[in-house]
């Protein structure tokens, strides 16, 4: 009997999947798209948002609470991975070759600059904290793999959490300034957003790097 | 004040999480403060609602449709209170349970993040924000399950993770359909604009499926027993008492605000049927269980069935309110009772080093306080007076009988008796032909007094809920949602 | 909170608090526990005394606590509840004394006495319950509180007893719950009233009411051990003697019988119930139970099971009296609530003494035991004669009124039932008395002839003497003010007062 | 059938493909990939709704997708670590 199920499962699953897909597709095609009221609202509010890039405005102003929780998810993942206590072999430094070291000498600073640019441009053009953080993380990994840089536990913890910390403190400081949760003062909205994004960039870079290493720093167990 | 109280509920645990991440040494102290603050915030909100009715908060000052809105009515605050009231003893317990153990270092930030997710889920009223909270909730829950580090726990955690992610993705697909159709995410706005259409039905179907998977309604419960049964005791308590309720809460909100009145009765009947299946099947599995924690976990499967009974009952016109009362009271009472049972079970397991029912009798007699806590929790689970469970059962029965739903009456009665079947299986452990002195048995690992009393405290709350239901019902009735 | 509201609550608290405190006492602190037990029982006794005096003066005592929207926990002292309250309080006091003596040196005493107190709290709550919901709550609490007492010894037998007891009582409780909720959904608040809530409610569908009546009676019938719901009672003999005494005379079976009385008189109203035609079947069931119990008792050689079946039979006298329309029968039924309690608890105390002092468990071992335990057996004799219905012991009064009531309601066949069961009672009690007094002592117990100042531990000896004496007094001075008979008359008048 | 619809349909197709992979495949890696494909499908459907009748494009779906991607990345990282941890116990 189980063998029979084994046989039938693919067929059933396939059929079910196709049926489900057809249903969703039908639902999608049979209905007109929305009238774009949300888009208009977003664009009308854009001037007050403190940034020029509508997506950034949504991420860090209109729906900033989503993003706050999203940063929390990143931090959570790091704790979760550390908790798994994967005893991966230490990533030992790559053999120092002239090519590699010169690559480092050029790319290291370059990556930092690019990250900074992405972060800055995010206010008006596509870009922003996550992209910047990802690039920065690349740089950090290069340095780690080269064995040039092995930050201490305290540093990693602070770097990984500063984004969430700043974001949260900003959020709960705002009611004092404007009387609204996560509601920035009109004049300085852009400044606040930049502050949050900078901190977030650092944390994202730190977390991605730490996820790659997957070993809790300053861990004392054998 | 509303703003401050509600912010407190989310910010306190989140800040605690960050601090505990930066300085693991600070440990429980901060967590306990944070949970207390959540409780304070919830109580503050309760008083605000009492004076000035339901509240709305536009985060970022944008308001619907552009911004995310918090909606704070009786239901919200009741759930927040549940989180705080269950969370407090659990935190106290975990302090004794993990002590300085390495696992504790990770437990505290994870638990605080979970609490954050839960509180923002209860406050939120926005389809996509709910998705983010669901993920935060789900991932932290899975991570907590892995803390015991055993193979079984890891396997259970993986299954839990995959199922949870599939659930969220189904939910998100539903959200995508709705957004594609209406371009709105705020539930209050959607309530006004939606009208029955294929897209809406499919979207609701996808969301409901995803949420039912997450709230483990039979037969989608397959992931639950292993996960709840193999997690560390305080985690099991959190999962059974709070986490499953999170997804169900969203389902409830959708049911009230998004499901059109033209919903065919068949649907609610099917949901009720699944509930009935859960009650019977879960109870039978619990009766057959060989390990204490698995028994309690299957009991959760069964109890979640009662939640689904709400759907057919709420259709029954004038009795709908009684059904909702019963439902919410049930969630609350089950939270306390089941939490207490898991904590007590954890004490036994910790003391004996195992939780095989056959050889647990000496341990049970060595830990009377924990057994007492388990017993009180059990009374509430069985729906016997005096307990919150009894109030809940009374209200649900009232709705069922009033609306002539005799099938549901039969199911509830059967469920009550079956639950007695497995609960007294455990309680009878306290009575064995011990000699003149309680027999020493195998030498037991000492259990922290705080852990024993924490379980009793939580159980007593389940008991106290049964003494006077009016305060909570008054709170619940503020902005009482009605089926669409 | 006014005094009239506080007093019923205090009466509950006096044993509830004691119980909760005792739970957390160390096993060794015997003295403290004993003091607590006795003072708790004593305080309750005094409070009930005050209560009775107050009611006698025409005061009303009522406490109302909100529970759910338009559902209240009501504790109310009316004549009927007072009868049961006073009975359970008095008998609790003596049983406490007995239990302390009986359980010396046995393990888990804190647990035992904790639940013991909870058990009585529940019983008193049942007695004072002012509406069906309150009644139901304490009724279920009683189930929960008696379970640990049954299981106390933890032997295979008692575990089995506990399991079966739960199966019966929880199922019964479930039926009761459905009945109560249903009735609440139909008829609103269910406060007991002397002539019945439903009396004259023509708006309700009689068939529905019949169903509800069936549910309620089935729910109570389990604890009242109404055949065929009696299965748990003989098995529960595995419990320690004081527990059996409490179960049979005061707490469990009485709660069932009392519940039936409440349903018939104060919920439906006896005439209305009769008009629904639901009483006759109950009468018949009671009659069957009476005869069946006695017949089964005959064939028991073990003493306690014989007493158990006797209980099954005797308790149905109460139900019989309840279901016969007419004040005289009512008096008979209600007064038997008290008389049976006194006599049966005496018998169990004595059985306990025999087992404890001489290790006697079977009737066949009792030859000549009267010479070894004269006082105990004297008490036993009085109670046994009372059960048979020999004047002047109280049991005679009950049967007399039952018979007369049956004639009033012209149901002469009831007399036959009474005659038969009395004959059977005699048939299973007299041999015991004969063996005890007139046959030469044989049996293993003679080696255990160590005598103290008393024939056995004084805490085991006093209780049966007291209860036997009461049974005798209530028979002799039945017409005295404040006697159970007087109370029963009062209740009957209120019930039939139109 | 506009190009938007086409994207949407591809999204749905990815969703169900990922789902069936998750059900049918046994190896952790394949299942995790399945989950990611499912996610991608949803994101595509979501992002197509940005091109409603109201031009220009609606930024909100973009933001939602970005958030979704970050969550998906986190979940994937955790899932991979978890399966590694299980390997270690074998």
Q: Could you read off the pLDDT of C152-210 as tens digits, one per residue?
A: 888 888 889 899 999 999 999 999 999 999 999 888 777 888 777 787 777 888 899 99
Cβ of B468 and C111 within 8 Å?
no
CA distance C217 to chain B (A): 17
How large is the average pLDDT for residues B266-285? Answer: 95
D75 touches chain A (CB under 8 A): yes
- Kindly list the distances between the CA atom of residue C331 and the CA atoms of C272, C277, C415, D30, D83, in Å, as whole numbers in the listed order: 19, 21, 16, 82, 78
- Determine whether C323 is exposed, middle or buried from the number of CB atoms within 10 Å of its CB (0-12, 13-18, 19+): buried
Domain that holds residue A2: 1-31
The model's pLDDT over B149-162, given as tens digits with 9 standing for 90+, comes to: 899 999 999 999 99
Confidence band of C105 (pLDDT split at 50, 70, 90): confident
What DSSP state is assigned to residue C72? E
Cβ of A69 and B182 within 8 Å?
no
Nearest CA in chain B to C179: B401
What is the residue-averaged pLDDT of chain C? 88
Instruction: Name the 3-class secondary structure at B58.
Output: strand
Contacts across the A-B interface (CB distance below 8 Å): 163
Confidence band of C10 (pLDDT split at 50, 70, 90): very high
Partner A, chain D 12-41, Cβ-Cβ below 8 Å: 12-13, 15-17, 19-20, 23-24
In a domain, A14, yes or no: yes
Q: Of B28-42, C102-116, C441-455, which range is least confident?
A: C441-455
Cβ of B166 and D22 within 8 Å?
yes
Report whether pLDDT(C89) > 60: yes
- In this prediction, residue B25 carries a pLDDT of 73
- In this prediction, residue B9 carries a pLDDT of 95
- In this prediction, residue C381 carries a pLDDT of 93
The model's pLDDT over B103-122, given as tens digits with 9 standing for 90+, comes to: 688 999 999 999 999 999 99
Helices and strands, counts by H and E, chain D: 3, 0
Nearest beta carbon to residue B154 from set D35, D74, D85: D85
Out of A89-103, C87-101, C195-209, give the one with best mean pLDDT.
Answer: C87-101
Confidence band of C492 (pLDDT split at 50, 70, 90): confident
In a domain, A115, yes or no: yes
D52 touches chain B (CB under 8 A): yes
Domain count, chain B: 1
Where helices occur in C30-76 by DSSP H, the ranges are 30-56
How large is the average pLDDT for residues C51-56? Answer: 86
Cβ of A59 and D56 within 8 Å?
no
What DSSP state is assigned to residue C191? B
- In this prediction, residue C320 carries a pLDDT of 92
DSSP per-residue letters across C81-130: HHHHHHHHHHHHHHHHHHHHHHTTT-S-HHHHHHHHHHHHHHHHHHHHB-
DSSP per-residue letters across C141-176: HHHHHHHHHHGGG--HHHHHHHHHHHHHHHHHHHHH
Report whether pLDDT(C23) > 70: yes
Of B348, B343, B364, the closest CA to residue B439 belongs to B364
Q: Are residues A24 and A57 in the same domain?
A: no
In a domain, B149, yes or no: no
Q: For residue C62, what is the enclosing H or E element?
A: strand C61-68
A83 touches chain B (CB under 8 A): yes
Are D75 and B139 in contact by the 8 Å Cβ rule? The answer is yes
Cβ of C141 and B385 within 8 Å?
yes
Report whether pLDDT(B434) > 70: no
The model's pLDDT over B352-394, given as tens digits with 9 standing for 90+, comes to: 988 999 889 888 888 989 999 999 999 999 999 889 999 999 9
**CB under 8 A, 24+ apart: contacts of C371-375:** C371/C441, C372/C441, C372/C445, C372/C446, C372/C449, C372/C455, C373/C455, C373/C456, C374/C455, C375/C454, C375/C455, C375/C461, C375/C465
Report whether pLDDT(B440) > 60: no
- Determine whether C480 is exposed, middle or buried from the number of CB atoms within 10 Å of its CB (0-12, 13-18, 19+): exposed
Where helices occur in C188-302 by DSSP H, the ranges are 206-223, 232-235, 241-245, 252-261, 270-276, 279-298
Of B132, B130, B119, the closest CA to residue B190 belongs to B130
Of B211, B215, B129, B199, the closest CA to residue B169 belongs to B211
Residue of higher predicted confidence among B100 and C288:
C288
Are C428 and C312 in contact by the 8 Å Cβ rule? The answer is no
Confidence band of D53 (pLDDT split at 50, 70, 90): low
Does domain D3-89 match CATH 1.10.287.3510?
A: yes
How large is the average pLDDT for residues D2-16? Answer: 91
Confidence band of A221 (pLDDT split at 50, 70, 90): very low
Question: How far is C128 from C11, CA to CA, in rounded Å?
Answer: 10
DSSP per-residue letters across chain A: -HHHHHHHHHHHHHHHHHHHHHHHHHHHHHSPPP-SHHHHHHHHHHHHHS-S-HHHHIIIIITHHHHHHHHHHHHHHHHHHHHHT--PPP-PPPP--HHHHHHHHHHHHHHHHHHHHHHHHTTTSS--HHHHHHHHHHHHHHHHHTTS----HHHHHHHHHHHHHHHHHHHHHHHHHHSSTT---TTTHHHHHHHHHHHHHHHHHHHHHHHHH-S-TT----
D31 touches chain B (CB under 8 A): yes
Q: Of A151-165, B412-426, C143-157, which range is least confident?
A: C143-157
How large is the average pLDDT for residues C438-442? Answer: 83
Are B351 and B285 in contact by the 8 Å Cβ rule? The answer is no
Domain count, chain A: 2
Q: How far apart are the first and last CA of chain D?
A: 51
Q: Of C53-62, C80-89, C113-122, which range is least confident?
A: C53-62
Torsion of CA B253, B255, B259, B263, to 10 degrees: 180
D90 touches chain A (CB under 8 A): no
Are B69 and B6 in contact by the 8 Å Cβ rule? The answer is no
Cβ of B368 and C111 within 8 Å?
yes
Question: How far is A152 from A145, CA to CA, in rounded Å?
Answer: 16
In a domain, B477, yes or no: yes
Chains that touch D (3 or more CB pairs under 8 A): A, B
Percent of chain C with pLDDT over 90: 41
Instruction: Name the 3-class secondary structure at C12.
Output: helix
Question: How far is A142 from B55, CA to CA, in rounded Å?
Answer: 51
In a domain, B422, yes or no: yes
- In this prediction, residue B436 carries a pLDDT of 42
Q: For residue B71, what is the enclosing H or E element?
A: strand B69-72
Report whether pLDDT(B400) > 70: yes
- In this prediction, residue C424 carries a pLDDT of 93
Of C450, C343, C361, the closest CA to residue C397 belongs to C343
Report whether pLDDT(B484) > 70: no
Report whether pLDDT(B435) > 90: no
How large is the average pLDDT for residues A49-73? Answer: 93
Q: Contacts of residue B328 in chain C, CB cutoff 8 Å?
A: none
How large is the average pLDDT for residues B329-355? Answer: 94
Q: Are residues A112 and A169 in the same domain?
A: yes
- In this prediction, residue C498 carries a pLDDT of 47
CA distance C404 to chain B (A): 41
Nearest CA in chain B to A219: B102
Q: Which residue has the tokens 């107190």?
A: C117
Cβ of D42 and B180 within 8 Å?
no
Question: How far is B372 from B459, CA to CA, in rounded Å?
Answer: 9
Report whether pLDDT(D90) > 80: no
In a domain, B257, yes or no: no
CA D5 to chain centroid, in Å, comes to: 18
Are B274 and B217 in contact by the 8 Å Cβ rule? The answer is yes
Q: Of A98-102, C255-259, C264-268, which range is least confident?
A: A98-102
Question: How far is B454 from B462, CA to CA, in rounded Å?
Answer: 13
Out of A146-155, B166-175, C25-34, give the one with best mean pLDDT.
Answer: B166-175
Cβ of A172 and B11 within 8 Å?
yes
Domain that holds residue B394: 282-484
Report whether pLDDT(B482) > 70: no
Q: Are residues A22 and A51 in the same domain?
A: no
Q: For residue B70, what is the enclosing H or E element?
A: strand B69-72
Q: Are residues A208 and A108 in the same domain?
A: yes
What is the residue-averaged pLDDT of chain A? 88
- In this prediction, residue C494 carries a pLDDT of 76
Partner B, chain D 55-84, Cβ-Cβ below 8 Å: 58, 60-61, 64, 67-68, 71, 74-75, 78-79, 82-83
- Cα Rg for chain D, rounded, in angstroms? 16
Give me the residues paired with residue C68 across strands.
Answer: C71
For chain B, which residues lie within 8 Å of any Cβ of chain D, measuring from their own Cβ? 128, 131-132, 135, 139, 142-143, 146, 151, 154-155, 157-158, 161-162, 165-166, 169, 172-173, 175-177, 179-180, 183, 185
Residue of higher predicted confidence among A92 and B31:
B31
Half-sphere exposure of A41 (CA within 13 A, CB side): 15
Nearest CA in chain B to A221: B102
What DSSP state is assigned to residue C28? T
Q: Contacts of residue B135 in chain D, CB cutoff 8 Å?
A: 71, 75
Where helices occur in B99-150 by DSSP H, the ranges are 102-123, 127-145
Half-sphere exposure of C10 (CA within 13 A, CB side): 18
Report whether pLDDT(D8) > 70: yes
């Amino acid at each position: 009997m189980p063998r029979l199920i084994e046989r039938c499962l693919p067929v059933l699953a396939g059929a079910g999947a196709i049926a489900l897909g057809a249903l969703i597709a039908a639902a999608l095609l049979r209905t007109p798209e929305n009238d774009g009221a949300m888009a208009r609202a977003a664009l009308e509010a854009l001037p007050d948002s403190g940034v020029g890039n509508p997506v950034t405005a949504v991420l860090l102003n209109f729906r900033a609470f989503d993003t706050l929780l999203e940063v929390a998810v990143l931090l959570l993942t790091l704790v979760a991975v550390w908790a798994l206590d994967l005893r991966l072999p230490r990533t030992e430094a790559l053999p120092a070759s002239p090519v590699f070291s010169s690559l480092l000498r050029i790319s290291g600073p370059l990556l930092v600059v690019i990250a900074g640019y992405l972060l800055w441009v995010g206010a008006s053009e596509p870009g922003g904290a996550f992209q910047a953080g990802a690039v920065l993380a690349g740089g950090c990994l290069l340095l780690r793999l080269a064995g040039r840089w092995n930050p201490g536990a305290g540093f990693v913890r602070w770097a990984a959490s500063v984004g969430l910390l700043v974001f949260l403190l900003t959020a709960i400081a705002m009611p004092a300034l404007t009387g609204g949760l996560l509601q920035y003062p009109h004049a300085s909205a852009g400044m606040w957003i930049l502050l949050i994004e900078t901190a977030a960039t650092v944390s994202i870079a730190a977390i991605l790097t730490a996820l790659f290493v997957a070993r809790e720093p300053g861990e004392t167990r054998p | 004040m509303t703003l401050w109280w509600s912010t407190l509920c989310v910010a306190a645990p989140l800040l605690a999480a960050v601090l505990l991440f930066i300085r693991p040494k600070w440990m429980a102290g901060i967590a306990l403060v944070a949970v207390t603050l959540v409780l304070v915030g919830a109580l503050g909100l309760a008083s605000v609602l009492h004076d000035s009715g339901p509240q709305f908060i536009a985060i970022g000052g944008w308001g619907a449709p552009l911004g995310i809105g918090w909606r704070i009515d009786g239901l919200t605050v009741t759930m927040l209170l549940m989180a705080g009231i269950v969370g407090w003893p659990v935190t106290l317990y975990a302090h004794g349970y993990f002590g300085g153990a390495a696992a504790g270092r990770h437990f505290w930030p994870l638990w605080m993040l979970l609490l954050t997710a839960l509180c923002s889920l209860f406050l939120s009223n926005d389809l996509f924000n709910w998705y983010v909270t669901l993920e935060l909730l789900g991932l932290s829950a899975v991570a907590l399950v892995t803390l015991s580090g055993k193979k079984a726990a890891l396997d259970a955690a993986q299954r839990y993770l995959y199922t949870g992610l599939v659930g969220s993705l189904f939910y998100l697909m539903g959200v995508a359909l709705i957004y594609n159709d209406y371009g709105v995410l705020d539930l209050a706005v959607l309530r006004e604009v939606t009208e029955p259409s294929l897209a809406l039905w499919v979207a609701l179907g996808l969301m409901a499926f995803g949420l039912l998977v997450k709230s483990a309604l039979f037969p989608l419960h397959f992931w639950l027993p292993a996960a709840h049964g193999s997690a560390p005791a305080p985690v099991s308590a959190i999962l059974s008492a709070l986490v499953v309720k999170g997804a169900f809460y969203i389902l409830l909100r959708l049911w009230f605000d998004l499901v059109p009145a033209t919903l065919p009765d068949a649907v609610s009947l099917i949901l009720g049927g699944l509930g009935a299946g859960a009650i019977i099947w879960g109870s039978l599995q619990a009766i057959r269980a060989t390990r204490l924690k698995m028994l309690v976990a299957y009991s959760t499967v069964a109890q979640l069935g009662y939640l689904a009974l709400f759907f057919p009952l709420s259709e029954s016109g004038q009795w709908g309110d009684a059904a909702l009362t019963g439902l919410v009271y049930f969630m609350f009472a089950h939270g306390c009772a089941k939490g207490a049972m898991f904590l007590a079970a954890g004490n036994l397991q910790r003391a004996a080093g195992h939780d095989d029912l056959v050889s647990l009798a000496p341990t049970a007699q060595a830990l009377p306080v924990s057994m007492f806590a388990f017993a009180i929790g059990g009374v509430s689970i069985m729906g016997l007076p005096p307990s919150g469970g009894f109030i809940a059962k009374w209200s649900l029965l009232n709705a069922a009988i009033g609306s002539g739903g005799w099938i549901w009456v039969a199911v509830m009665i059967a469920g009550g008796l079956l639950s007695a079947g497995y609960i007294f299986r455990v309680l009878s452990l306290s009575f064995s032909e011990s000699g003149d002195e309680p027999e020493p048995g195998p030498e037991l690992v000492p259990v922290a007094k705080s852990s024993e009393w924490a379980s009793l405290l939580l159980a007593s709350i389940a008991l106290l809920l049964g003494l006077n239901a009016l305060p909570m019902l008054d709170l619940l009735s503020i902005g009482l949602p009605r089926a669409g | 909170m006014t005094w009239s509201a506080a007093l019923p609550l205090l009466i509950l608290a006096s044993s509830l608090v004691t119980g909760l405190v005792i739970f957390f006492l160390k096993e060794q602190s015997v003295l403290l526990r004993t003091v607590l037990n006795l003072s708790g029982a004593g305080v309750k006794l005094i409070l009930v005394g005050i209560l009775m005096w107050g009611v006698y003066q025409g005061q009303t005592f009522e406490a109302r606590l909100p529970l759910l929207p338009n559902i209240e926990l009501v504790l109310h002292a009316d004549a009927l509840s007072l009868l049961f309250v006073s009975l359970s309080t008095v008998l609790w006091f003596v049983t406490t004394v007995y239990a302390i003596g009986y359980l010396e040196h046995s393990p888990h005493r804190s647990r035992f006495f904790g639940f013991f107190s909870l058990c009585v709290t529940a019983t008193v709550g049942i007695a004072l319950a002012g509406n069906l919901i309150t009644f139901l709550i304490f009724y279920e609490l009683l189930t929960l509180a008696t379970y640990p007492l049954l299981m106390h010894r933890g032997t295979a037998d008692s575990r089995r007893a506990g399991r079966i007891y739960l199966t019966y009582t929880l199922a019964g409780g479930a039926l009761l719950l459905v009945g109560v909720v249903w009735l609440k959904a139909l008829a609103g608040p269910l406060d007991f009233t002397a002539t019945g809530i439903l009396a004259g409610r023509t708006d309700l569908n009689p068939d529905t009411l019949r169903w509800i009546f069936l549910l309620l009676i089935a729910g109570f019938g389990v604890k009242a051990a109404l055949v065929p719901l009696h299965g748990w009672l003989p098995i529960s003999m595995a419990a320690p003697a004081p527990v059996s005494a409490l179960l049979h005379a005061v707490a469990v079976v009485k709660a069932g019988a009392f519940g039936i009385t409440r349903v018939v008189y104060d919920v439906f109203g006896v005439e209305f119930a009769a008009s629904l035609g639901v009483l006759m079947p109950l009468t018949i069931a009671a009659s069957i139970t009476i005869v069946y119990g006695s017949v089964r008792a005959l064939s028991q050689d073990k003493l306690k099971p014989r007493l158990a079946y006797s209980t099954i039979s005797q308790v149905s006298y109460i139900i019989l009296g309840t279901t016969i329309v007419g004040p005289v029968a009512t008096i008979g039924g209600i007064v038997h609530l008290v008389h049976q309690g006194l006599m049966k608890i005496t018998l169990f105390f004595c059985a306990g003494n025999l087992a404890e002092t001489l290790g006697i468990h079977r009737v066949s071992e009792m030859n000549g035991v009267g010479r070894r335990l004269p006082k105990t057996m004297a008490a036993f004799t009085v109670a046994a004669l009372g059960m048979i219905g020999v004047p002047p012991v109280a049991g005679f009064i009950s049967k007399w009124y039952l018979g007369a009531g049956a004639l009033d309601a012209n149901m002469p066949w009831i007399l036959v039932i009474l005659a038969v069961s009395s004959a059977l009672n005699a048939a299973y009690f007299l041999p015991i008395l004969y063996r005890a007094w007139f046959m030469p002592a044989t049996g293993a117990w003679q080696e255990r002839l160590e005598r103290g100042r008393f024939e056995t531990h004084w805490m085991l000896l006093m209780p049966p003497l007291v209860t036997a004496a009461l049974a005798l007094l209530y028979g002799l001075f039945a017409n005295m003010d404040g006697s159970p008979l007087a109370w029963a008359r009062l209740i009957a008048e209120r019930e039939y007062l139109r | 059938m506009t190009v938007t619809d086409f994207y949407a349909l591809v999204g749905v197709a990815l969703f169900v493909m990922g789902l069936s992979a998750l059900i049918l495949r046994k190896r952790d890696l394949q299942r995790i990939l399945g989950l990611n494909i499912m996610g991608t499908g949803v994101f595509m459907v979501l992002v197509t709704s940005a091109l409603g009748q109201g031009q220009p494009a609606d930024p909100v779906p973009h933001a939602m997708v970005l958030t979704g991607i970050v969550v998906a990345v986190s979940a994937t990282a955790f899932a991979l670590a978890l399966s590694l941890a299980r390997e270690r116990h074998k």
